[in-house]
Amino acid sequence: MKRILTYTLLLLSFLTFAQKKEKDRNLPDGNEAFSEKNYSNAEADYRVSQSGFPKKAVASYNLGNSIYRQKQASEAKFQFVKAIKSAKTKPEKHKAYHNLGNCLMTEKNYEGAVEAYKNALRNNPNDEETRYNFALAKKQLENNPPKSEDDKNKNKDKNKDKKEDKKDQDKKDNKDKKDKDKDKNDQKKEGDKNKDQQDKNNDKNGQPKPQPGGISKDRIQNMLDAVNNEEKKIQDKVNQQKVRVNPKKPEKDW
């Protein structure tokens, strides 16, 4: 009875182990989608595989490839770094370092790419493609040397000066605009003031009123009275002449 119980426990342990090995069905599904160039579906399967088996380098490596094929090199490089950390064999490390170098080349990080290809060659010095990429990265690094700290600081200072100059220019432009608007408002106010003054100087009939320093009201009234008197005298003379020339007719006889 004890032997039967022992064999049963061993059988159950074997079945549990087998189930764990068969559990990662997403990895082959991802490989199939990748071969069909359906990289987004492959990425989804590889992510599930990676979450279930985080210590397996192949899931991270394949996930990095699917992301890289979607032209997301900056994101793919992190998956290759994970694959390098999880890799247990030289071929796995060689491939992960090689593809990491490709990502860095895409980002124009030639210094990092040289180191990545160098590490790939350490794990497989006979790979011609890696050797070619290593030589290309070195040449690009020579033509585009990394900037020193002094150059970076100079660029920072230069950018800072540009920002300050722009800020000063914006302040000057705003001040000029405000001054221009103020001049326009002052001119408008002066025009309104002149118009108001002109309106005050006009009487109800629209005729200009006499301004201070001109003819006084009393003098104007005296002049009008004199004119009226002259007209009255002339009218009286005319009436007298009419009486003499045209005498009044007598009343009609009955």
- Full DSSP string of 169-183: HHHHHHHHHHHHHHH
Nearest to 134 by CA among 119, 155, 156: 119
Long-range residue pairs from 146-151, CB within 8 A, at least 24 positions apart, any chain? 146/111
CATH dotted code for 21-143? 1.25.40.10
Share above pLDDT 90 across residues of the chain, in percent, rounded to a whole number: 44
Across the range 108-115, mean pLDDT stands at 95
d(CA 128, CA 219): 119
Across the range 237-241, mean pLDDT stands at 68
Long-range residue pairs from 116-120, CB within 8 A, at least 24 positions apart, any chain? 119/93, 120/93, 120/94, 120/95
Could you read off the pLDDT of 146-155 as tens digits, one per residue?
877 766 566 6
d(CA 97, CA 199): 90
Q: Please report which confidence band the pLDDT of residue 192 belongs to, taking 50, 70 and 90 as the band edges.
A: low
Q: What pLDDT is recorded for position 152?
A: 59
If you count them, how many residues does the chain have?
254
Long-range residue pairs from 53-57, CB within 8 A, at least 24 positions apart, any chain? 53/24, 54/86, 55/86, 56/24, 56/86, 57/82, 57/83, 57/84, 57/86, 57/87, 57/88, 57/92, 57/96
Q: What pLDDT is recorded for position 7?
A: 41
Q: What pLDDT is recorded for position 9?
A: 38
Query: What does pLDDT average to over the chain?
Result: 77
Could you read off the pLDDT of 24-39 as tens digits, one per residue?
889 999 999 999 999 9
Across the range 124-151, mean pLDDT stands at 90
Could you read off the pLDDT of 160-181 as tens digits, one per residue?
767 777 777 877 777 777 777 7
> Is residue 14 over pLDDT 50?
no
> Is residue 200 over pLDDT 70?
no
Q: Please report which confidence band the pLDDT of residue 134 belongs to, taking 50, 70 and 90 as the band edges.
A: very high
> Is residue 115 over pLDDT 80?
yes
Could you read off the pLDDT of 65-91 as tens digits, one per residue?
999 999 999 999 999 999 999 999 999
> Is residue 17 over pLDDT 50?
no
